[in-house]
Structure 1
Amino acid sequence: MEPLSVDALNSIIRRIVRSEELLANIWVLGEITNFRPHNSGHRFFSLTDGEATIRSVIWRGDVQDFPFDNGERVLAHGHVDFYPVRGDLQFVCDFIRPEGVGLEAARFEQLRARLEDEGLFDPSRKRKVPVYPEYIGLVTSESGAALHDVKNVLSHRWPLATVIFASATVQGETAPSSIVRALAQLDQQKVDVVIIARGGGSSEDLAAFNDETVVRAIFSSKVPIVSGIGHDTDLTLTDLVADVSAPTPTAAAQRATPDKHDILENISDYGRMMTSNLNSILRRELLNVENLVHRFKLKVPVVSEYLTSTDALLLRFDNNIAEQMHEMEINCDKQDVRLNVLDPEATIARGFSVIEKSFKGEKIVVTRIKDVNPDEVLDVSVKDGTFPVKVV
């Protein structure tokens, strides 16, 4: 085998270190020594347990608000890397907490900080729960008390909704994958909101609800998620990523639905309000009618005056017509007298006679002697008839 250069050797070592999964995600407990902050903001130090030491660093972007100092015992998370130029093996930290925090608590804080940086807990992305959901998805254990508690609350508060149950294991190693499957199942259903619930327990019992896969599944849900995990004092990453967080399963069911009694009371209030408004409108319109009637009554005397004037005019008209008719009767009588005087028959009746002769086929009255000729036949009309005479 040909000898290796130092660069080639260090490159092989780096490749081996970076390919080892165990070294890519580890927690280390140790005491800080050789602590020296850099102007760039990075923190360089060593971790030791009294038996061994490893060079360590935490880059500026991962530095938390923690007073690093020599002699501090800390719990750090990160990965191991090798730098070929100097031949240094380093522990690269991305999260660090005091030793007293505990490993599980440190893991929780580390994951929480990372997911928060990604925006999974951002309040601006949280969705509102529908006011009147028709279909409610429920993720919990089919054997747990949470199932009964949630269904009982839903049946009393909002019986109009249909509950679609997706059973899931909520404790143990298989719980995270089981919860993710249940959420995926409901994502394919016609649901308006999903309740994810579990009763109280120890931090180990609730560990599934701090699992990263569960948190990301909730974040990716198509519909709003309401969480109700444990008791009032329990806080999980599921609560942080859910659109609405409730302290218990019962409270989660309450926050996911309206209360039918409140709705019925609102309907009654609206009914009373509508009745009051209608009564107000009717009273206002009745007042308007009364005002119009009053105004009309004020105008009635004027109308009566017009009617009285009209009656007077009609009376005057009748009187004028009567006077004119009387005058006409008198004139007619006068004319009748005159006509009687001029009537030839009346004249004959008084002892006079009328002499007529024929002239060009017509009868004409003879008024002068020169109008007749000898031997001409004339007609003489007297009171009781007409007889002919001959002119001598």
Structure 2
Amino acid sequence: MRILVIDDEKNIRATLSGILEDAGYLVMAVESAEKGLEVIREQQFEVALVDVKLPGMDGLMFLETAKQFMPDLDIIMISGHSGISTAVQAVKMGAYDFCEKPLSLPKILISIQNLDEKRSLARRSQEFSDDLEQRYRMIGESPEMVKLNDLIQRVAQTDAKVLIRGESGCGKELVAHSIHTKSNRRKGAFVKFNSAAIPKELVESELFGYEKGAFTGAQKAKPGKLERAHEGTLFLDEIGDMELSAQAKILRVIQEGKFERVGSNKTLDINVRIIAATHKPLEEMVKLGTFREDLYYRLNVVPVDVPPLRNRVADIPRLVTYFLDHFAMELKLGRKAVSADGVSALQAYAFPGNIRELRNLMERLYILTPGDMIQQAD
């Protein structure tokens, strides 16, 4: 971490430089705020230690000016001539800390170490966020995927309800996760709930949670998927399979941000973004009375249509490479590729199971093909 010291007293510059360099930091010291501004315009610093009382431009003016073009620069003010009001003013203007003279060198070191840790945590958080975006990115450069990725990027900047439509296996969950990881809720949980995957009689208890004694076997209270998604995203997969009674409760969550656990009269508040997905024609289900019309319109604020794989065959070579590289890393059996005629054969196939079918096929071929080149005959 690079630190800039600005103080008009030579002995203080020397003392601070010495102790910070001994602690392993890279330090540069200058005698005026004007010189400090000149330096930070030309070089990268993470922290500045700045005296409030300086000849010419004072430390507070440096703080105000530096923050305008280097908002990420953390500034610690030091002074022997100012009271609490100056310290408060400095912090309000964006200073990280305020130290009085005679300087407590241990306190300054602790403040610097705290800053170093804060920056390290921010870095790791950003790396984690970048890793999530990489993991849940949508692969492909076909016009259909360019359009879809653009829509995902725009939708992620809002908290609007999203209804993802598409055939089974085309990547609806991946779209939902991509929206979440690009949104302001990315630090919250992404919780998936699939109505089609559990018995109908358990849908409400799994989704909304239950209290002890709510039903036979409920030995203790349990929060549901909805509570686990608080301040994050709840992904309602295959919502077309949800029972009407559960639909009514989800509608209330959307309208009021409130719900009750099964077996409880206590109303709980919830802050959650809801993204739903389906492969069923919900508009037709509304006409048939099997899906609530009011819920449909509440969910369908931003419809996102995911194209089937047969409509973006230009992406198949890129997807094949991605899956084979993934299995090479996971199974540690070496990299493999598909021959040109093999890729052509894949592009000629309709893939009724979409991306899921292609992934499963690539895994099977990766494991069963003895060489490093997968041929059309394989």
Computing the radius of gyration from Cα coordinates, the structure with the larger value is 1
With normalisation by structure 2, the TM-score equals 0.21
With normalisation by structure 1, the TM-score equals 0.20
